[in-house]
Amino acid sequence: MTADFNQDPVLFGHNSEQRIVSADLVEAGNSAKRDSIMIFSRINGEVRKAREDFAPFALVDGTLMSRWVKTSGKIPVAVVEEALAGNGALNVKLSFKSWKDCLKARRWLSTVSGISAGSSIAPYLVAGDPVTQHLMQTGRTSFKGMSFADLNRLQVDIECVVSDGFEFCNAERDGDKIVAIAMSDGSGWTAVLSGAELSEKEILEQFVLLVQKKDPDVIEGHNIFNFDLPYISTRARKLGVDLLLGRDGGVAKSRPSRMAMGERTISYTRFDIFGRHVVDTLFLAQAYDLSERSLKSFGLKDVAVHFGIAAANRTYIDGAEISRVFKSDPERLMRYARDDVLETMAIGDLLSRSYFVQAQMLPFNYQNVCVRGNATKIDALMLREYVYRRTAVPMPGMSRSFEGGYTDIFFTGVERNVHHVDVRSLYPSLMLSHRISPRTDELDVFPGMLDLLRTYRLNAKRKMLDSETAHERNFYDALQSTFKVFINSFYGYLGFSQGQFNDFDAAESVTAHGRKLLKTMIVALQKAGARPLEIDTDGIYFVPPPFKGGEAAITKALEKFRADFVRALPDGIEIEFDGEYRAMYSYKMKNYALLEQNGEVIIRGAALKSRGLERFQRTFLEKAIRMKLEGKDSLMPALKDEYTALLSGHQMAVSEFSKTVTLQNPPAAYAARIEKGGRNRDAAYELALRSGREFRAGDQVTYYVTGEKKSVTVFKNAKMASEWNPDNRDENVAYYLAKLDGLYTKFYSQKESDGSEQEMDLNGQEED
């Protein structure tokens, strides 16, 4: 199924070529020849390939380049210059015979300008990678004319055994080896290569053969970048197995990379496989949670449970038990691996569709679509259109701070009958209604794209509501969600320091209009007798006026209240009353919990669901929050007594009060920094150093705290969880009871303090 409305070339590219599944650079290897791009298309189930010349390019400030040439000589590679129309500073396009020549020219530009490539003040631009440049110049995109089901996706999951004394497998240790590789695809095919039947080398060899036989367009895995593929690659190297996974029969290549995920930067090992894409469903889950904030963790099992796709009879094995289970019951481990890979496929089915649609629009290969930020994607769409129209590109504006969106809190505690009103696409609506766009966008591409996206989204949403089948409904839901993501990112692009068309004055104007509108909404609610509770950028939680009468009278009064509220707003602003909740617990700004009509509890904010808490604290916190929402605070002392009895009576398993830490650096590097006074001591690293075993970066350490006093130096009193003896328990009961008391005091006594103190109490600042 494909979109059945006109696909505008500004959004979808000026080339309508169908069913492209991947493209990759083929270097000439001969200075007399040009590089080329190999394009793979899936036609009638068969993968076909075509090859065409590729001329990489750079955009430069022509005036400055003339000056550089006079002082430093010509660019040391063959180049074709083209003057571009328009007023942008980057007004000359340089074209090269090969990607190597392009990179050589970039180094020359960096040297003569004294400004490194990628800097926002660099007076030159080499856009993206070879495939991105090819797609920009040709107007091609992936997957046009295809449905998501047409994509050949192969899922991979591995299981490993661990050497004695370690918790997490490390591919560099000879004793830590792969004992299972599970695979699946959309046809219903699954396979598990078992270490009970094959040697590790044979498992890897069979894996390579199956990838080539199945010829997937996409290889998926959950944490595939930072676990499965690095592990497979390292073990293959140790065992002399060539990892020939590419469509050209070439090896998988890896390099360190980073991606932005909200305010975090995630480091990972990027794998590039010729003619194929690698997609990590862990990253897709993290991206999903940026907006939803509803996942308890990003682990495969928790994500599957959250989305309701975990099979009722699926096999579960604790990670620490895998080595033991392989020895005692290998068939059970193989069932576990098969269930893992099937859950990975189901998560990909759910979370990949939006990225599939984005790939039909963007000048990125599918793998990059899944890891690039939205502002970067908008920048690429803008650049593609300017390159197509042979128009000069501006330099990015200078980054500066400005006042952001309006957030406020009017109430802390528990309130009943809470409603939510949301401004649909607040900032995009303001940008369109007030005609706010980058001043350097002389072709008016930016507002045109925003308007088109809004129209497309409305069309897709209408078709989703009219859909007669689940397949059709899922397609249009993915489509409208994709458009929504882009629409809501246009404001962020204005304040994107690396955006060629950014405009901080315009961004400041948008937030000023937003604050004014939201304050107008607050006044309108108050005049109508409603009580605002919290406002967060584009939505307001409030308690409606106290309507009187029976159910019918209250419903009618609520409808009138909403209609009057809409009339009080400026033209062009669409709102949606999108939530009614039995109760809301407001803890502090952007940290609250909601009790839905069906009894489900939604918890928002790191202060209320910190992943840094021990498991017993998290479960206590969840139960305490539910009690507050349900008006059962009187039961909280009994809940506290229950947990106190479990801790005091040594009835909790070590997994309830231990912490697991992944070592980000080698313990030796940590020790060197400690010696120089460059950091505080950390329990996990101290334990790794004291163990006498060779821990490496990426290894995990699970520990608990011993002793008898509640105030202890954690790194001095930490002990490996693997050394915990249930017959001779030594966990520090006083220490853990103090943590429980801290949570109880916060949520039962109703004592409020400033936000930073509350966060510290919840997350625990323990290390010296």
Residue-wise DSSP of 289-332: HHHH---S--SHHHHHHHTT-S-TT-----GGGHHHHHHH-HHH
Structure tokens at 85: 């129309």
Q: In the 3-class helix/strand/coil scheme, how is 173-186 assigned residue by residue?
A: CCCCEEEEEEEEEC
- Say if CB 57 and CB 94 are below 8 A apart: yes
CB within 8 Å of 364: residues ≥ 6 apart = 128, 131, 132, 135, 372, 377, 380
Kindly report the pTM of this predicted structure.
0.85
Helix (H, G, I), strand (E, B) or coil at 533: strand
Query: How many C-beta atoms lie closer than 10 Å to residue 474's C-beta?
Result: 17
CA pair distance 460, 751, nearest whole angstrom:
48
Which residues of 462-574 form beta strands (DSSP E)?
A: 531-536, 539-543
CA pair distance 223, 227, nearest whole angstrom:
6
pLDDT at 3: 54
What angle in degrees, to the nearest 10, is found between the helix axes of 733-748 and 755-763? 150
> Which residues in the chain come in under a pLDDT of 70?
1-6, 31-32, 291-293, 471, 611, 698, 749-768
Query: How many C-beta atoms lie closer than 10 Å to residue 598's C-beta?
Result: 6
- Say if CB 707 and CB 735 are below 8 A apart: yes
pLDDT at 759: 36
Which residues of 626-721 form beta strands (DSSP E)?
A: 659-662, 700-705, 718-720
CA pair distance 515, 407, nearest whole angstrom:
9
Structure tokens at 230: 């690095």
- Say if CB 242 and CB 211 are below 8 A apart: no
The DSSP code for 167 is: S
At 542-599, the pLDDT tens digits run: 999 999 999 999 999 999 999 999 998 888 788 889 889 999 999 999 899 999 999 9
CA pair distance 632, 643, nearest whole angstrom:
17
CA pair distance 88, 500, nearest whole angstrom:
10
Residue-wise DSSP of 110-127: HHHHT--TT-TT-SEE--
pLDDT at 471: 67
CA 7 to mean position of chain CA atoms: 27
Nearest in space to 704 (alpha carbons), one of 739, 731, 735, 678: 731
Structure tokens at 251: 């090896």
What residue type is 258 in one-letter code?
Answer: R
200-209 CB burial, b ≥16 within 10 A, e <16: bbebbbebbe
pLDDT at 2: 56
Within 13 Å, how many C-alpha atoms sit on residue 274's CB side? 16
- Say if CB 117 and CB 110 are below 8 A apart: yes
pLDDT at 114: 95
Sheet containing strand 591-596, strands side by side: 407-409, 531-536, 539-543, 413-423, 575-588, 591-596, 601-604
- Say if CB 63 and CB 83 are below 8 A apart: no
Structure tokens at 102: 């392009």
CB within 8 Å of 627: residues ≥ 6 apart = 633, 635, 636, 639
